[in-house]
Structure 1
């Protein structure tokens, strides 16, 4: 299902890439509208994906499907036991009460700093409040600590978005490129790279030819 979705999104993106350089006026506006639509779809996928990963990890753990970790090997980052506080914090987040959610997740992480999903929610709670520096710090920590390829790419991409908001476009492009190298299947970093470059006077995707595949999940 996701393969077909992202294949369609990639086809749309290829169309924009091929037509944008020669476009002007109304046609260029139509292409930018397509980019914005793809961006909105990608944003929606991120939170849904995180919720699914959490639910899948919990279900596998409860049913005994997941194999027991070998000695010295970490369990999957999303197979975390959900405490009452985690459920309460997640409830605040779903109700868009981001300040309350951040307080709960912060307290939880002080006691259990390795709870990856809690840190994702904390970073996003800060971002929704406009606390860019706090959010950036959490996403940076995630990008350094996580072994989950998609989560690392999402963290790098979020850092790039924050750099765009602060008008640090060169740094943003560097982070988007790094996110794409980490997870080539991701559409959002490429899309953001285009929007970022457009603010500098035109869409430029020259870096695409130099990207290298990231490690598999």
Structure 2
């Protein structure tokens, strides 16, 4: 019997016991409990045998590497966990190696509580064993005992003789600090790790991520570009680069950047998450053709996901209009009929194609499900504007001003400002639009409308911060 089949049989036995338990009598439960106990004994035996095998395998690999001259001198000097057990001297020098091997085995089996107990015993009996303390620190971290883990990593960072152990420890310190959103301190820890061991790729990626989370988009890009030269197909780093580029664009639309080689054009080889981030970046900078290509690849890869068809539909509409996009957005709605965003897009496309009554029907379907749906209400406001019924449009828009969310209130002021522009009430339009300014990034038309109001009111020029480049 193959080992896979044997484990499959054991899993089936455990599952059958679980299924029979609820309807079993007291006597039957005693029998089932006995079977569970036997399975637990089998499990313990397997773990013990695996640990013995892992120990032998690790020693064999190290010995062969040493015979072939492939073992780094630093490892020979600083990692007592890999000393040849056949040597009596080694056994004499490292009497606690069996504890290390047992803990290491539990760690690789992801049994972190058991690993923590082994390494806690090890560091108590052999406090200078650096690799053992490093395992202990990581076991604590993976058991969510962050404070104790931080203390162990900091001790290693200050006292370890191995540069590798010190670099790894500072990288881990940075991760703990980043989890607590202490971005400045985390970045410093990652920098220290890289000063000690510049080739440590994980710390480079972590530093870039830290910069991005702290809003330093340019610094994140500076770290990621050399990283992606060596790790061209690392999709997580690609996503990070795209997010940093998007953030940088929102901060300064005049900045110019050149994508890394693997991101210069969307291709089918890219990971789905990377394609999605790439599409988002292209939409931000107005490159709808490339965004459309990204979504085309995504629909091929995930044809049953409504969001892929919606993204393709929206960018197709921006490029070629309603006729070509409508079938695609209908596909998205059929795959996710509960998603109001898709139905709103359908109504919005119809509205701008002059099919106002059909658009109103779509928006009303949304409002029948939820009368307070802000998307549906916004669609109706725009539809009433198209029909020339500005009074009804204003009535709906004023409901937004009663909302507790600042963004929704700003959206209401934005609607009222646009309606006032249509009515050529320039002073009122300016007042409404000024109140929507805190969310000008979401409503990119505000500076244009304000400039128009200023012109109509006889003002010579607007403040430069209200004018988009």
Common fold: TM-score over 0.5:
yes
Indicate the residue corresponding to 1:22 in structure 2. Answer: none
SS of the residue aligned with 2:172?
Answer: helix
| TM-superposed deviation, 1:126 | 0.9
Distance change >3 Å, CA 197–CA 56, structure 1 → 2: farther
CA distance in 1 between partners of 2:117 and 2:107 (Å): 11
Aligned residues: 149
- 1:122 is aligned to 2:136: yes
Q: Report if aligned partners of 1:194, 1:205 keep a CA contact under 8 Å in 2.
A: yes
Task: Name 1:183's counterpart in structure 2.
Answer: 197
Q: Secondary structure at the match of 1:120?
A: helix
Q: Is the 8 A contact 2:131 2:165 kept in 1?
A: no
Give per-residue Cα distances to partners, 1:170-196, cap 9 Å, x unaligned.
100111111111111112222111111
* TM value normalised by structure 1: 0.59
Instruction: Give the counterpart of 1:105 among 110, 116, 119.
Output: 119
Structure 1 unaligned segments of length 5 or more: list them.
1-50, 66-74, 209-217
CA distance in 2, matches of 1:55, 1:120: 20
- Which of 127, 134, 137 lines up with 2:148 in the alignment? 134
How far apart are residue 57 of structure 1 and its match? 10
How far is the alpha carbon of 1:159 from its aligned partner?
Answer: 0.2
What is the alpha-carbon distance in structure 2 between the residues aligned to residue 57 and residue 118 of structure 1?
19
Per residue, is there more helix in 1 or in 2? Answer: 2
Q: Offset of 1:205 from its aligned partner?
A: 2.8
How far apart are 1:83 and its partner, in Å? 2.3
Check 1:76–1:196 CA distance in 2 against 1; reply closer, same or farther (3 A cut): same
Note the alpha carbon deviations across 1:68-96, whole angstroms, 9 max, x for none: xxxxxxx7120344622222211211221
SS in 2 for 1:76: helix
Shift of 1:151: 1.9
* 1:213 aligned partner: none
Question: Do the aligned residues in 2 keep the contact of 1:57 with 1:76 (CA within 8 Å)?
Answer: no
Matched residue SS, 2:104 = helix
Other-structure match for 1:78:
79
State TM-score, norm by structure 2: 0.29
Counterpart pick for 1:145 among 155, 159, 163: 159
The runs of at least 4 consecutive aligned structure 1 residues that moved more than 6 Å come to none
2:188 aligned residue: 174
SS at structure 1 position matched to 2:80: coil
- Give distance in 2, aligned partners of 1:56 and 1:185: 28
- Cα distance change of structure 1 residues 57 and 109 upon mapping to structure 2, 3 Å threshold: farther
Judge conservation of contact 2:130–2:160 (CA < 8 Å) in 1.
yes
8 Å Cα contact 2:80/2:129 also seen in 1: no
Larger radius of gyration: 2
